[in-house]
Amino acid sequence: KGNCFINAGATYSLNFSGEFSVHRNLQVNGVFNISTGNNSNSIKVKGDCIVDGTITESGTGSPVLVLEGMVSQQLGVKGQISNSITLKTNNLSGILLISPILINHKLEMVAGKISTTDSTLLIISSSGTIVADSSQSSVFINGPLQKQGIVASSNFLFPVGAGSMQRWLRLQEAVGDYT
């Protein structure tokens, strides 16, 4: 019911079906393999999440890393979140990025906004997606967002906004990387 620290040089792997709750901060300096089997584990973090190492999965499940604090949470990823891991935000008080982050799989926004700056950019790779609840006016990216690898045959919706209001921006028949 406290912090979870995975030190540099250490690997911690999970192979079960269920929830793994961190009631305070998650600090990953080593390797945190959140799903080694066919399970769709849910890792729920109520404090800050700092990843200087690697959060990954090596199984066939669909694991989810959930930020669901009651107060604003900080997210810093100087390392990487790799493979098919969904990053889910469910915090009405919001998420503050403290370093750039690259989403290679999926970002699912349920509640609250994610605040970014030019130096703490949220980057969605060409294979990455964003799912945001458009019925919730307070679910959006508050600051710059980059989508990489847009192709002419696809659309991309940027769930952006300002203050407390969501405003969607849609790119259609665009090609390349856009911020």
Residues 6+ apart with CB under 8 A from 61: 35, 37, 38, 39, 40, 41
Residue 77 near residue 107, CB atoms below 8 Å:
no
Q: Indicate whether 173 pLDDT > 80.
A: no
Residue pLDDT, tens place only, 122-166? 999 989 989 987 778 889 999 999 988 877 777 777 888 877 778
Residue 44 near residue 21, CB atoms below 8 Å:
yes
pTM for this predicted structure: 0.92
Q: What is the mean pLDDT of residues 16-30?
A: 92
Residue 83 near residue 58, CB atoms below 8 Å:
yes
Q: What is the mean pLDDT of residues 62-85?
A: 94
Residue type, 119: S
Residue pLDDT, tens place only, 161-170? 877 778 777 7
